[in-house]
Amino acid sequence: MKSTNIKLGWIRAHVGYSGNEAADVLAKKATREGIPTYIPAPRNHIKSLLQKESIIRWQKEWDNGETGRSVHNVLPKVKTTPTPGQRPEIMFVTGHGPFPTYLKRFNIRSSDSCGCGNLGNPLHYATTQLKKIFKKKICSKYLQIFLQVSLIINCIYESTYLYDVECDETSSSCLGFEPAIL
């Protein structure tokens, strides 16, 4: 191989050079009769494309759906992996948690009332019952989210006069709940 000299050059096509004419015939035959060249995409590439398309479709359904809007407000982006710390928010906005209103629906409790006599829903626990939750440590790991929700509710409560919402100005309650005292 060391003594072989290979030279590349250009020759004019279709002027009668026998080697070039034979190469043209073989090339045309290969395009008509040859084995098709198929290079498949790697499996992980196809899987990645399908996953991206699935997430795009899922996101569109989630954005345009009619159910689960309270959860959509907390988790607007769909994901295939759980997000740490989102469970308490979901429990609060859906009411699916250790709340008397939820437990009564499944006949686990006989009453949907809190011990104070009010409706035992998440809003009640995030506002008037924060101290009770803290003292009993019922939801100590969820306390931070309840505190955040309470701050939001207090902000809304304080801003209701700006939005001209009907409130009972003779009492400290607005929209049927007491603001939390932090």
CB 130 within 8 A of CB 180: yes
Q: Does residue 182 contact residue 158 with C-beta atoms inside 8 Å?
A: no
Q: Report the alpha-carbon distance of residue 136 to residue 126 in Å, rounded.
A: 14
Half-sphere exposure of 43 (CA within 13 A, CB side): 0
pLDDT digits (tens, 9 = 90+) for 10-61: 888 888 888 888 988 998 898 888 787 777 888 899 999 999 999 999 999 9
Contacts of 102 (CB under 8 A, 6+ apart): 95, 96
Residues 81-104 pLDDT 10s: 877 767 777 787 788 888 899 999
CA dihedral 133, 134, 137, 140 (to 10 degrees): 100
Sequence ranges of the domains in the chain: 42-82, 84-158
- pLDDT at 163 > cutoff 50: no
pTM of whole model > 0.85? no
Nearest to 117 by CA among 178, 28, 26: 178
What would the two tokens of residue 40 be? 């498949």
